[in-house]
Structure 1
Amino acid sequence: MKNKDKLSVQTQAALSELSKKILHVEEFKEYTKSNILCPFEVACLVAKKASVIIADYHHILSPSIREHLMERINKDLSECIIIIDEAHNLPSRCRELLSTQLSTISIDIAIKEAESTGFKDIGSSIKYIKDAFEKLSNLKLNKDTRECLITKTDLLVEISKFIDTDQLINDLFFIGEKIKEIKKRSACTHIANFLINWQGPDEGFSRILKLNRTDRGKELLTLNYNCLDPALITKILAEMSHSIICMSGTLTPLDMYKDLFGFEAVTADFKNPFPHFNKLSIIVPDTTTKFTARSQDMYKKIAVYCSSIVNEIPGNSAIFFPSYELRDRINFYIQNLCIKTTFLEVPNMSKDEKSELIDKFKSYKNSGAVLLGASSGNFGEGIDIEDNILKCVIVVGVPLDRPDLETQELIRYYDNKFGKGWDYGYIMPAIIKCLQNAGRCIRSENDRGVIIFLDQRYIWDSYFKCFPKDSNLRITKEPIKRIKEFFENKENILS
């Protein structure tokens, strides 16, 4: 790209051409690769003269990535206005970024890395970490207790009985550099970084030891250092940048996000610009996916409701479930009750696979088809199905996080800090997922559609109060009548 510190003629020509266009990232990559240029290097050169830069969360949230990026593009964060779209995801993204985990699988891989590079003595040192894991597991876990809180010193004391921790970290980084000459990533480097992070602060974090099993039934120990406080990132970001604008269609309640982000902000809540009579929102409180109520009879009852509703819809529908497992259990009955073609979302779909599935789904816009997915899956949010092709969304159950130790610690932390642990750490994240699912239906002022929330918990006060004030929710155990009336009268202003 450069010739004696000067840009090559080919690079200069590409920059001139790109300055006249706004390209999608895939188009940008295709253009640069076709000109035998590095997409990243060219993107940095283009960004130097750009007034607006679109990037992934990590480019700004990660201190190391942010620092490197700003240096490469000759920008100063203090002169940047950061606009964060879909900001309802910001708390979890920040927590994920500052969280780390280590498993016995990673340790086994690291041992092999050390031995394969001729450093068996370091491989033996790495085994001390696994020994520490197993000793902590024997002391604190059993068949009834599969996870527990541990302290920083619990691990460090066990390791230090055999080897100096700092020396071990240096050895791991050394092996990691050797491995990176062969492949991109190293388990040794991962362990070294984990041990450094593990020595970090206690406030705003939890330390959890878990015992699980792999798909093959082998025991798997993981040690988790989980961040509980997104403000550890957002507060610093607000102080360093010129200003931050956080926006989302589900940034509700605003006071909660002010608390979570940890910086002073001016808030603005805008009314939905779409005609309210174009949407029928119904709560059907006759079923539940609550764990204690799950049974084959309940699955069949949910399937009957879902099938009767989508069979009545003049077009395509989407049904979102709390998990793929529940989706599959209920779909067992839906297949015999639904008269329309069904499409099943699968986990970890590639971009091409998602596009192909959506294109097929759209092709049924006249006869109608049903997409069955998970609330937190590929299509639960962030996808636009335009031209009113999607006429109905059913949200089955409440997509609550598993009430495991990590969730309990999040609730406890928010309770201590804000006095609202149950709302901030458990209920609101689930309601926001529901609202994102529901938002797939109405994408323009001309779209008309039906939103169904199918679970009795939605009428409980602790859940119902979380819906936006303009939700205009109806409660009925006979949704078909309402749906027929809605689609028969296009000018119907709901009462």
Structure 2
Amino acid sequence: MEPELQALMRYFPYESLRREQRKVMLAAYRAMAEGRDALIEAASGVGKTIAVLTAAMPFVEDGHRVVYLTRTHAEIDKVVEEVARMAELGHPVRAVMVRGKSGLCLNPLASGLPPGLLDEFCSLAKSVGMCSLSAAGTRLAPFNFTSRELVEACREARACPYEVLMSHLAEGDVVVMTYNYLVDGELRERVLRPAMSADKAPIVVMDEAHNVQELLHSADSVKVSLADVRRAVEVLRAELPRARLTRALASLARSLARAASLLSSGRTSVPLSVSAPLESLEAARSALAEAARARLPEGPAAVRPLLHLRSILRLLERSVREGHAVVLSREGGELRMEAFNPNPLRLRGAVRRRRALVAMSATLSSVEFYSEILGARDPIVKRVPSPYVRNAAFLIYTGLDTSFKSRGDELYESVVELISDVDAHLPSGHSMVVFVPSAEFLSELLVRGLVYRVGRAVLVNPPPGELGENVVLVSVLGGRLSEGVDLRVSLCLIVGVPYARPDYKVMAVMREYSSVFPGRARRYAYVLPAVRRAIQASGRLLRGPRDRGVVVFADRRYLRLLRYFPRWLAAHVRAVRRREELLKAVALFPYGSPRWPP
């Protein structure tokens, strides 16, 4: 055993260290020891989180803080739980998670508001004495608390969970937060910068780092309810004498409605022109705050439209100040306004002061691209294959082409038949998941009776905690079931290649990439994101040593895209042309016992 590994094992909280974890741990430790960065492509289920945390512990003891970035709040809790296990071994390491007020707020008035409005509500409620919760007077220290544990402890102490977290941020050895605190300029200055301001340069860990490309183009976003916007304008028109201000807001409401109608005609995103000067936006936000303050005693429903419009104006104000474009898009039936920036290099300086940066994911190709957008310094590149790859059959079914030009009644009917046939050939007791390219594609399958044409119960986009046994799960590639969750399925059917529709945002990104990455723009901005979504979805099947099953990439275009797959995976993929050959492979695979219950 290497001397470095032997020294690190005293921090490792499990009895055995997998070979793949050893590789991740040593690569991360080497980067930290040499003051370099590391790009680690390691398959799902390897155990990357605890390997990197273990590698960081000698540096934590030497005064370096770990700033750990994840995609979801569930992943934050996993990191905190791993740190708690190391603390149970007697190591004095303290994790502090960072979360927004959504999911933490204990004020009963907040329960009637959408999560996106809690920041606006919080400052308003405190200003009128309708929230007395704070961190003052409590001795509660939120170290190694998951979000649920923190909320319960603060409920008992009658303290504000958010303020308790913020008041102890500088005391954490490991500070865990989502990528929002990196890509959002305001949050970066308010939270990430202080977390990185210890005397010694921090170690930055980017988990599921493939998400950086998608997230870096969105500086901020809010959901848009046209009904709430109209109601807020009517309230201001009735209560404020400033006709010029209310006319401007009414004009904004009409612009949003026109943009929404364009989205209804088939577009997926449209740009919005912000003509109002910064002073007018600030004045309008102030007027909305006054109106909301007066109405707050009437309850959340009375202030919701005002807070909603105020959050929209805040995004517009930031976009004007920071030079972002404003885009309206439709996601799963919801309108969303976004402060959009197509520059792929805008985050390079965000974590300039660091001892090391460790970026890791199951799909970190091309590493050259990530090295450039993150500004990696002499990076150590490590590729770690899945230890479970031989537990699955990976197939490309070439009897299907789901490209945009091929879509129509015949294709959608063929896909429904394919799902039905695969379901019929999967042994009883086993579950399967079907991923499709888009919400529109999924709607076409449902219209054609997908739910009634398979033998198992069909669950469409179920919450991760309500998956069931012997079922067919159906979701969209890139959606909430396609990464970071264990679905306990025995077959993963990936229908189509999830290329983004070439809308305003995609074309703006392509133009920007063409100037930054000449000759590589289409590959970096269009092809690789689609391949990553498919590979991430395929990772829902192999999560541990007990997992066995079949992964099917159902689209002939995957034959050309195979060169962009992780090397460890590409070597195990084989093509099947005929449907009978595919169904035979599904029926005869040695699945073993079903994975339910876990």
* Cα distance in structure 2, aligned partners of 1:481 and 1:31: 54
Alpha-carbon shift at residue 194 of structure 1 (Å): 1.0
Structure 1 pair 227–274 and aligned structure 2 pair: CA distance change class (3 A): same
| CA 1:113–1:83: 2 relative to 1, 3 Å | farther
Equivalent residue for 1:382? 484
Going from structure 1 to structure 2, the CA distance change for 1:7 and 1:259 (only over 3 Å counts) comes to closer
Matches within 5 A, 1:248-327: 248-314=361-427, 315-327=430-442
Partner of 1:231: 345
Q: Residue in 2 aligned with 1:173?
A: 285
> Contact 1:300 / 1:333 at 8 angstroms: preserved in 2?
no
Relative contact order (alpha carbons < 8 A, sep ≥ 6): 1 or 2 greater? Answer: 2
Q: What residue is the counterpart of 2:51 in the other structure?
A: none
Q: C-alpha displacement at 1:383, in angstroms?
A: 0.7
Identity of aligned residues (%): 19
Distance of 1:484 and 1:223 partners within structure 2: 46
The answer on 1:343 being equivalent to 2:459 is: yes
SS of 1:53's partner is strand
Is 2:556 the partner of 1:444? no
Paired residues of 2:274 and 2:316 also in contact (CA < 8 A): no
* 8 A Cα contact 1:88 1:251, kept in partner: yes
Task: Give 2:383's aligned amino acid.
Answer: F
Equivalent of 2:214 in 84, 92, 106: 92
Aligned residues: 438
Partner of 1:468: 566
The equivalent residue for 1:349 is none
Q: With structure 2 as the length reference, what TM-score do the two structures score?
A: 0.64
Flag the 1:100–1:262 CA change in 2: closer, same or farther, 3 A: farther
Question: What is the correspondence of 1:151-190 to structure 2 with a 5 Å cutoff?
Answer: 156=275, 165-181=277-293, 182=296, 183=303, 185=307, 187-188=309-310, 190=312
Deviations 1:139-172 (A, max 9, x none): xx99999799989xx754xx6xxxxx35423422
Partner SS, residue 187 of structure 2:
helix
1:376-416, Cα deviation, whole Å (9 max, x unpaired): 2221111123xxx3111000111111211211121121122
Distance 1:277 1:198 in 2: 53
Alignment of 1:178-217 (within 5 A): 178-181=290-293, 182=296, 183=303, 185=307, 187-188=309-310, 190-191=312-313, 193-195=315-317, 197-198=319-320, 200-201=322-323
- 2-structure distance, mates of 1:306, 1:33: 48
What is the one-letter code of the residue matched to 1:465? Answer: R
For residues 420 and 527 of structure 2, what CA distance do their matches in structure 1 show? 28
List gaps (5 residues or longer) in structure 2: 1-133, 297-302, 594-598
Residues in 2 aligned to 1:70 and 1:77: alpha-carbon distance in whole angstroms: 15
What amino acid is aligned across from residue 84 of structure 1 in structure 2?
M
Aligned-pair CA distance for 1:126: 1.3
Change (3 A) 1:6 1:68: closer
Unaligned runs of 5+ residues in structure 1 are 160-164, 347-352, 491-495
Where in structure 2 are the equivalents of 1:27-66 lying within 5 Å? 27-66=149-188
- CA offset digits 1:223-242 (Å, max 9, x no partner): 8752112421x212231444
Q: In 2, Cα distance between the equivalents of 1:467 and 1:412?
A: 25
| Distance apart, 1:375 and its partner CA | 1.3
Measured at CA, do residues 226 and 77 of structure 1 come closer, stay the same or move farther in structure 2, by a change above 3 Å?
farther
Cα distance, 1:130–1:247 mapped onto 2, change above 3 Å = same
Corresponding residue SS for 2:395: strand
The one-letter code matched in structure 2 to 1:38 is C
Aligned equivalent of 2:191: 69
1:401 and 2:504 aligned: no
Question: Which whole-Å CA distance do the structure 1 matches of 2:168 and 2:279 have between them?
Answer: 43
The 3 A distance-change label for structure 1 pair 68 and 321 is same
- Cα pair distance change 1:146/1:396, threshold 3 Å: closer
Superimposed CA distance per residue, residues 101-145 of structure 1 (whole angstroms, 9 cap, x where no aligned partner): 9997786455335324423324345158549959x99xxx99999
Following the alignment from structure 1 to structure 2, what is the Cα–Cα distance between the partners of residues 394 and 284? 10
Tell me, in whole angstroms, the C-alpha distance in 1 between the residues paired with 2:387 and 2:356: 30
**Which residue does 2:590 correspond to in 1?**
487
- Relative distance call for 1:97 and 1:193 in structure 2 (3 A) is closer
* Contact kept? 1:106, 1:187, Cα under 8 Å: yes
